[in-house]
Structure 1
Amino acid sequence: MTNSSTTKQNIVSICLWLLIWQAVAMIINEEILFVSPLSVLFKFPELIKSFIFWQSISFSILRILAGFFISTILSSIFAYIAYKSAAIEAFFRPIITVIKSTPVASFIILALIFIGKDIVPMFICMLMVTPIVYSNVLNGLKNVDKDLKEMSKLYDTKQIKHLYFPSLLPYITAAIDSGLGLCWKAGIAAEVICRTIPSIGNQIWETKFYIETTEMFAYTTVVILLSVLFDFLIKKATRAVLKKYNVEVVK
């Protein structure tokens, strides 16, 4: 299936779901309970004139992306250390399992006790992405071609640049595909629970408190659009690097 046909199908699907949303809203006919997409759309001109709207978006983007990229770097380093030592890998295994299994809300509340509420969303993003990147990078390292490793030693090439980096790229890309969306969900949830100011999460909390359902839907739509946008941009960048090294993404 070509990219153009896939794009067309996605657009048609989105339009159909918007029509379903509009139809359900018209049937319920209670804006305070379930707003229509048209109401959300008409809310945006009001929001974009507000300073707090842009301030909240900017700070949320900063926290979430900072948590994501810091976690990606640290998790890759930990994975490399674990790859070099079976004992270290065994040491990390229980904590990775705990992070995977524990509900996000539990981590948010625990983090709120020990660290400031302004730091919690970034910390939660780091925590949620860690198992994904760690596992993918570790698997990538374990699947590096042994013959290539021997050749790199024989010809004295820089292993990280010429061997490990190209081999790990598809695994890192797969981790980014899985982790970025999770980062947005976990990060915004942390902002809502912690009432981090300024943030999209705090704005969502305030709309719930003042029963501003239309505004809540509008901010939720912003989160979805930001998640899709940054996912698209990072995928474009990573796929450009993949193309440079002539490697494929691990599904």
Structure 2
Amino acid sequence: MDRVLWTKDQVKLAFHLYCQLQFGKLHRGNPEIIQLAKLLGRTPSSLALRLVNMSSLDPAIRASGRSGMKNASKLDHEVWEEFHEDWERLAEDCDRLRQALEQSQPLEPLVTTADELGILDDFTGETRSVITQQRMKQNFFRRAVLASYQGRCCMSGLSEPRLLIASHIVPWSKDHANRLNPSNGLCLSAIHDRAFDLGFLTLDDDYRVLLSEKLQSSSDAFVVQTFHAIAGRPIEMPYRFLPEPAFIKRHRQEVFNG
């Protein structure tokens, strides 16, 4: 069955999953890979290999010097480009495709862990279907960002998933085209996420932490310990989906209270 050519829809679903898994979890024993392989009529080994080969498309992966990931197909390239042109539409497409497959092949549900839970805004007055769509989109973005940073806050190193946020560099409401783009995200602890959103800190062009004057001048013990300690330090870079420099610059210009 694995000798049958992959369809574009199958590659979309594979890449959708690739975005949400940490690099060390791209193996045939991963329950999520096993489940999707069953839906696609593929072996877990075949799907895992496809996911690893997709890594070669990411500039961050290539820059790291990792080898053995050079077999991405023309179709992989095409799907990669489509995702980067419209992350939201592709996420919606994959959700629809996945639901159709699951309806025809009922599977045992996987256990949802704390790090996979999305964070919802206030959807008062919106329909259930809209809420469901927003949950799906936010969950995809969260998982993609946390996986890229290996589940650690890029400023503090915190690894407790219940205290981690997939923080938008350019706010969700300000750039619809990039609100699901993992390169518009940083994995931050809840306190660093809040400070970032309020403009108390940002990054320079070399991804080093910049503090606002208010934080720099504060003598509060918590501020000194939590923020002064990271001032001027570079963040821990993700292994894929590097933060887009244009988004960082926009955050400095539009959000940062220097």
- Whose relative contact order is higher, 1 or 2, with alpha carbons under 8 Å and at least 6 apart? 1
Q: Is TM (by shorter chain) over 0.5?
A: no
TM-score (norm 2): 0.24
Query: Comparing both structures, which one devotes a greater share of its residues to strand?
Result: 2
- Higher Cα radius of gyration: 1
TM-score (norm 1): 0.25
